[in-house]
Every structure is written in structure tokens, then in C-alpha cells.
Amino acid sequence: MSTILDEIVANKQIETAELKKSLPLSVLKDKPLFLRNTFSLKDALKNSSTGIISEFKRKSPSKGDIHQGIEPKDVVPLYEKYGCTGVSCLADNKYFGGSYQDVIQARANLEHTPLLFKEFLTDPYQLYLAKSSGADVILLIAACLQPSQCQELALEAKELGLQTLLEIHSEDELSHYNDSYIDILGVNNRNLKIFKTDIEISKSIVKNLPQDAVKISESGISKPETVASLKKLGFNGFLMGENFMKEQNPGIALKSFIDNVLTLI
């Protein structure tokens, strides 16, 4: 039975094939951002007191429209100003309202904050798209990839100077993890096959994660108390989008959230 994730990945493969025609590798490699030195999200998470990775997204399959008519330049400078550890920017258009150009705009409006290319990545071409857009980190979703594919993509990303965030949803997907090529291990509290969210996933799985891995919890986080409790369990960071993007001013929402977290840790 086909799932939402299957549909997204199938559509992404079609989109990527079209992009290869209009933006061949030779063009991507010539873009100025392709040659820049990247920032380390892994180091930033290790050194951060809160570890908030704030996300820019306009919509999602589970929530529909979240904040239409807004641009990265309106949001990410304030994310950086008010203390995020990293910024995530959606590159998928059909399901999340993002674009490759959004990532470029986000990079142009950040000074030193690491930027995650948030995309459903299955093709090495997308690594070059990420690097040429100014991203520092790429996302690999275990549910979309075989362990061997994950290794190949992560190793190629490393050759390009990009860090890799591996996203898992269950202990079974830990077979995709290897600390020699994966920089950050993420636990998604949202089941991407049915898009149901349960924060208990992070709480239950953390004891079985590699102790020395830099770990983040993703999705469904809306309370400072949740961040504080997950930090005590060993998570270094927290990927949050909807909680900030649903507000009129996402940057101010981030500031308030971080201020509250700091009173709890």
C-alpha cells in the first residue's frame, strides 16, 4: 500500500530528473556558493545551551498551510539574531511550499549560522544542489534509503564538505548509522508514512542510541519543558518548524521559546 512518503519520493525523483536538464552539474559547480567554506552544525550543537534548529516552512502535508506569503529573508535573520543553533529550510515545493531558491535566500540572510537543506534526498545530484545553494548540512531519511545508499550519499556529501543528518524513526533504522560518515543522528517523532506525531518516540528510543552520537529530536516539540526533559535524556538539539512558523513573527516566537528553555535547564 502506497504511503504519503512513497508519493513524495516518487514526485521528487521526477522533479530531480527535470532539474538535471535545466541545472546540470557543470552549472551547479560554477555557482559561487558551491565554493564557499561550510559551517559545522555538529560543533554548533555540541556548544549550544539550547540546541534549537529553527525551520522555515510554509506548509506541510499534515498541517496544510502554516504561513503563506512569507520569505526566508523575513524570518531567518531574526532566527539568527535571537539565538538559534541552526536553520533548516525546506526545498520541496509541492508538499512543503519551499524551493531551492528559498535555501539560497536563507543563506544570503545568515551570517554564520549552519543551514540545513531540508529535502527528500535519494540522488547524488541533490548533494550538488544543496552545496550550490549555500547549505552546510544535508538530510538523509532512513525510511527513504537502503543502508548502502545512505553510506554512499553521506560519503559523497563529506567529499563536498557537507555534514549529514541521518533521520530515523525506529531502532530498526539504526542500521543506517555509522559515525564515520554520519555527523548527526536525528529521531523524527513524526511517522513519515502516516504523518502521526508522538514525542514519546524520542523518549523511548534514546537509551538505545549510540552514546557518543550528536543527537537531535525532530517534530512535535512545542513546549520548553519538552526540550528541557529531552536534554536531560541526552539530546543535543531540537528541530522545530511549525511551532514558530505558525506565529505572525516566527523570530520573536523563537526568542520567547529560548528564553523559557533557559529558565528550565
Return the pLDDT at 63: 86
- CATH code of the domain in which 23 resides: 3.20.20.70
* pLDDT tens column, 109-131: 999 999 999 999 999 999 999 99
Nearest to 96 by CA among 137, 56, 128: 56
Phi, psi (degrees; rounded to nearest 5) at 102: -60, -40
**Total domains, the chain:** 1
Which stretches within 177-263 are classed as H helix? Answer: 200-205, 224-233, 242-245, 250-262
Residues lower than pLDDT 70 in the chain: 1, 192-194
Share of residues in the chain with pLDDT > 70 (%): 98
For the chain, report the end-to-end CA distance as a whole number of angstroms: 44
CA distance 138 to 154: 9
Per-residue model confidence as pLDDT tens digits over 214-232: 999 999 999 999 999 999 9
- Of 218, 222, 230, 169, the C-alpha closest to 194 is 169
> What per-residue confidence (pLDDT) applies to 4?
87
Domain that holds residue 23: 4-262
Chain length of the chain:
265
Q: What is residue 196's predicted lDDT score, i.e. its pLDDT?
A: 79
- pTM, to two decimals: 0.96
Q: Are 195 and 4 in contact (CB under 8 A)?
A: yes
